Amino acid sequence: MKQLFAAISVVLLLSGCSPNPPKTVYPQLNREAEFRGGLSWNPRSGRVITSWINPGGTMTTLYGDDTAVNYARSHADGAYPAGAKLGAVTWKQQEDARWFGGRIPAQVASVEIVVAGGPYEKYEGSPLAAVPGSDAQRAQFLLQQRAAVMP
């Protein structure tokens, strides 16, 4: 008799009274990866030029303002018109909790801003603060990155 009841309840459960899938994923912003602190220009207000992964677990996206992006997408030489603005944002990485196999941005490690024919600035820390000094070699490196193909 007990077995019969067990069988009947299994049958009933399977035939419709089934629970909804567990809510394991909620809509969520990646707050950790946002900027904290003031910058002379917000690179993420621009558009993507390219991106790369650095040794040691950080990832960088290079953005540009309209002048920079239009130039990068039509030239390979990095000779941007004076005043074009580029910004490189480097994030620490974390495992994507929603996709084993992916790494996504965690905290911002640094923000670099370079203006063609103008200054190079670097921000670090949380909140982000300008690091004194310039780095002509690094500025040149950023200007030389080719745009990622986006047909």
Partner 1 sequence: MTRMRFLTGTGIVLLLIGGAMQAYRPKLESPPVTAEIQAPDEVRQILRQRCYSCHSNETKLPWYDNLAPAYWVVRDDVLEGREHLNFSTIGAKPEAVQRGMLFESVNTVQLGSMPLPRYLAVHRDAGVTPDELATLRHYLATPPAQSAAPAPAAAAETQFQHWIASNGKPMGTQPDTQVQPEWNGVPFLPEYKNWKPVSSTERWDNHTMRQILGNDIALKAIADGKIDNWPDGTVFAKVAWLQQPDGKGGITTGAFQQVELMIKNSKTYASTEGWGWGRWRGDDLKPYGKDAAFQNECISCHEPVAHSDHVYTAPIGGAQ
Enumerate binding residues for partner 1 (CB under 8 A).
Answer: 1, 4, 6-8, 10-11, 13-15, 18-31, 33-35, 42, 44-45, 47-48, 50-55, 59, 61, 63, 69-70, 73-76, 93, 96, 98-105, 146-151
Segment holding 11, helix H or strand E: helix 2-14
Segment holding 58, helix H or strand E: strand 58-64
Distance of alpha carbon 114 from alpha carbon 40, whole angstroms:
11
CB 83 within 8 A of CB 50: no
The smaller minimum CB distance to partner 1, of residues 20 and 133, is found at 20
Which among 48, 40, 32, 57 is positioned nearest to 118, based on CA atoms? 40
Using rule CB under 6 A, residue 99 touches ligand HEC: yes
Handedness of CA 8, 12, 15, 21 (dihedral sign): negative
Least Å from the CB of residue 123 to ligand HEC: 27
What one-letter code names the amino acid at 23?
K
Q: Please pick, from the candidates 38, 83, 102, 118, the single residue that binds ligand HEC as defined by CB under 6 A.
A: 102
Using rule CB under 6 A, residue 97 touches ligand HEC: no
Using rule CB under 6 A, residue 5 touches ligand HEC: no
Least Å from the CB of residue 68 to ligand HEC: 25
What one-letter code names the amino acid at 19?
P
Least Å from the CB of residue 121 to partner 1: 18
Least Å from the CB of residue 16 to ligand HEC: 15
User: In the complex, which residue's CB is closest to ligand HEC?
Assistant: 99
Segment holding 33, helix H or strand E: none
